[in-house]
Amino acid sequence: MRIRRGDLVQVVIGDDAGSDARKVLQVLRTKGKVLVEGVNRVYKHVKRGHPKSPQGGRLSREMPIDISNVALYCTACGRGVRVGMQFLDDGSKVRVCRKCGANLGTVSPPNKRYAKD
């Protein structure tokens, strides 16, 4: 998966599509889903006496959405883009924007095997 916790993503498909960049709170790898801040909010009805809500009522919370419905946000392009992987000269692996080629963060530390002489 090319999306990690703390990344900025843009929702591409669904009710919240086209909104500005949002932060990824959690990645559920086994289910192929992500939890995005402020997206896919639902009400959970809670009985009185619950530790989070002693008076009871409705709690608003985010639910996971499929990872295919979000795109990593490129600050250089200003929108959600496709992501590629690339090795730098020192052998470290980074994510790059497919549109403009901007560096979107390091994936792995330098490795001599992939370093260019």
pLDDT band per the 50, 70, 90 thresholds, residue 48? confident
Tell me what pLDDT residue 34 has.
Answer: 96
pLDDT in tens, 81-107: 999 999 999 999 999 999 998 999 888
Domains along the sequence of the chain with CATH:
8-114 (2.30.30.30)
β-sheet bridge partners, residue 58: 45
Mean predicted confidence (pLDDT) in 25-40: 94
Instruction: Report the run of H or E that residue 73 belongs to, with start and end.
Output: strand 70-74
Residues in the chain: 117
Over the range 33-47, which residues count as b (16 or more CB within 10 Å of their CB) and which as e? Answer: bbbbeebbeeeeebe
> How open is the CA angle 13-18-19, to the nearest 5 degrees?
120
